[in-house]
Amino acid sequence: METTLLEIKNLNISFNVSKNIVNTVDNFSLTLKEKETIGIVGESGSGKTISMLGLTRLLPKQAFVDKGSILFKGRDISNISNKEFYQKISGKKISMIFQEPMTALNPVYTIGRQLISTYLFHNDVSRNSAYNRAIEFLDKVQLTNVKERMAQYPHQLSGGQRQRVMIAMALINSPELLIADEPTTALDVTVQKEIVGLIQKLIENLGMAMIFISHDLGLVSKTCEDIIVMEKGLILESGKAKDVLTRPKENYTKNLLKCLWSLDVDHKKINEYRTLLLDVKDISKSYQLPGSILKPKKVINAVRNVSFEIFKGETLAIVGESGSGKSTVAKIINGLTKMDSGDVLLEGKKIDSYSPLERALRIQPVFQDPYSTLNPNHTIGFIVRRPLLLNTSLSYDEIETKVAKTLDLVGLSKNFINRFPSQLSGGQRQRVAIARAIILEPKILICDEPTSSLDVTIQSQILDLLNELKARLKITIVLISHNISVVKFLSDRVLVMNNGEILESGNTLNIINKPKNNYTKKLMSAIFTVKKKV
């Protein structure tokens, strides 16, 4: 009979904000048996991550646990000293994998040094033994050329490779509990499937329990036996994952599922687009990596002889894994990167023949992470207003009227004009980015992973907004994405790219439901969904 490994009772976590105490997690309780897997789901700010940071003593400085107990193998560890906790519990008995390994790994130390140090801290062994242990676990997480990887730095690895290193580091001391906090959010759909499969295989082989934190219900349904649904610091419902996801009791859970299911609907796509807007002809782009005395310079062919057409009023999706060339194509179309060869014709004229102003009035981008593209020192009003100030001769009153109208179009009131990006949620910031892009009334909107960092409910809102704007403003959309569910919901046609080339193209539903190329089949098989109860 399996015994209880972890029991959290009535945990409260609060923040000290300008001398005011704000409660963020209220009466959080959880019971986890040995070798069991539990998923914690909810939108950003629901308390799922902060509750686990309270368990691992990784809370930010202004946060503190003000009530509750944490029993690990029957012992209350909430009151033990930090010295004992970090030496005997954290990293040894309980380990955590974080969402973005680039910020969790030390950029100035090699992978090998970080793995060896992690093992030596908790074990009285020789450095040679620690080295062999590091090699063993890099091999367990299926990294190639593991001895070479030991000498590499985090920036020299891909996102999927860095996440594998993080998993190796979390498991190198054979913990009894693994906490995985959104471990696949920043990864391609195929890499995501590989990482999830790897984690499941490792915890089974090593006999560990796991707490899996995510806002992706499809992912949790495939990963966890039990599930906890959180909103605003409270547990709304919990139970077997299958029961909660097929027979939810709370409206909040039903809404999460409804938003997820809405992306899985086969929408009828209109294919009556006949007016050619953009003609891409045999474009190529290569990058030269720096070499050394012993190593020659390496050439990366990011895009190779790519051709396609975009018609007025359609949504064309370009899909593929990281490094497939899709974002480079978008940058070439947008004039942000010069092509080595080929032509891009916009309304029959070469894209290079347009002035920056003429191009800005015709093509505008919406980027993946609005927080990094919105100036934190400027108000929302200034950010949305600036394209008009730079590119038009409208009067002050005309500009202010247009700013208010555009904000209203994206679902934001005039009250947002004097706010700063840091005062907005992720979904609100993305709405601002869209408002800034459409205020010049461009003909083409290039959306590069516009919803990848958003919760499923916010994602659904942004996609509905893009569809609405497309219909009202007659905008043509180029969607760059690796999220096939988003592509299915939004696009009319799809181009599938790999290694800088187009492998296949066609009607969205035909590509998704009847892919011809093996690479495309691999992409489609990596989708995690939650099916409705029949």
For 97-143, what is the HEC assignment? Answer: ECCCHHHHCCCCCCHHHHHHHHHHHHCCCCHHHHHHHHHHHHHHCCC
Whether 299 maps to a domain, the answer reads no
Helices then strands, counting H and E runs in the chain, come out as 21, 20
Q: Of 262, 282, 305, which closes a domain?
A: 262
pTM here?
Answer: 0.79
pLDDT digits (tens, 9 = 90+) for 335-388: 888 999 999 999 999 998 998 888 888 999 998 777 778 898 999 999 999 999
Residue matched to tokens 């909660």: 244
Residues 32 and 109 in one domain: yes
Residues 257 and 385 in one domain: no
Residues 182 and 330 in one domain: no
Is the confidence at residue 517, as pLDDT, over 80? yes
Q: And the tokens for 294?
A: 């012993």
Q: How many domains does the chain have?
A: 2
CA atoms within 13 A on the CB side of 472: 11
Phi and psi angles of residue 122, each rounded to the nearest 5 degrees, phi first: -105, -5
* 2-14: average pLDDT: 92
Q: What is the largest CA-CA distance in the chain?
A: 76
**Long-range interactions of 85-89: CB distance < 8 A, separation 24+:** 85/57, 86/57, 87/122
Is the confidence at residue 100, as pLDDT, over 80? no
Q: Of 223, 241, 262, which closes a domain?
A: 262
Is the confidence at residue 181, as pLDDT, over 70? yes
β-partners of residue 349 are: 346
- pLDDT for position 264: 66
Is the confidence at residue 397, as pLDDT, over 90? yes
β-partners of residue 308 are: 280
Residues 216 and 327 in one domain: no
Residues 368 and 229 in one domain: no
Whether 271 maps to a domain, the answer reads no
Whether 74 maps to a domain, the answer reads yes
Is the confidence at residue 533, as pLDDT, over 60? no
**Distance (Å, whole) CA 163 – CA 161:** 5
- pLDDT for position 299: 81
DSSP 224: -
Domain holding 449: CATH number?
A: 3.40.50.300
* 397-417: average pLDDT: 92
Helix/strand/coil for 477: strand
Q: Confidence band (pLDDT; 50, 70, 90) for 266?
A: low
Q: In what order do the strands lie in the sheet with 476-481?
A: 363-366, 444-448, 476-481, 315-319, 493-498, 501-507
pLDDT digits (tens, 9 = 90+) for 146-166: 998 899 998 888 778 888 899
* 124-138: average pLDDT: 95
pLDDT digits (tens, 9 = 90+) for 66-95: 999 999 999 999 989 999 999 999 999 999
Q: Of 262, 281, 299, which closes a domain?
A: 262
Radius of gyration of the chain (CA): 25
pLDDT digits (tens, 9 = 90+) for 26-35: 999 999 999 9
- pLDDT for position 17: 74
**Distance (Å, whole) CA 81 – CA 86:** 9
Pure H helices in 232-343: 241-246, 251-262, 326-333
Whether 409 maps to a domain, the answer reads yes
Q: Give residue 77's domain range.
A: 4-262
Whether 78 maps to a domain, the answer reads yes
Whether 496 maps to a domain, the answer reads no
Residues 105 and 191 in one domain: yes
**Distance (Å, whole) CA 340 – CA 306:** 12
Q: Confidence band (pLDDT; 50, 70, 90) for 6?
A: very high
283 close to 350: Cβ distance less than 8 angstroms:
no
Is the confidence at residue 534, as pLDDT, over 50? no
Whether 514 maps to a domain, the answer reads yes
What does DSSP say about strands 20-33 and 209-214: parallel, antiparallel, or unpaired?
Answer: unpaired
35 close to 207: Cβ distance less than 8 angstroms:
yes
DSSP 90: B
**Distance (Å, whole) CA 475 – CA 314:** 8
Is the confidence at residue 532, as pLDDT, over 70? no
Residues 245 and 114 in one domain: yes
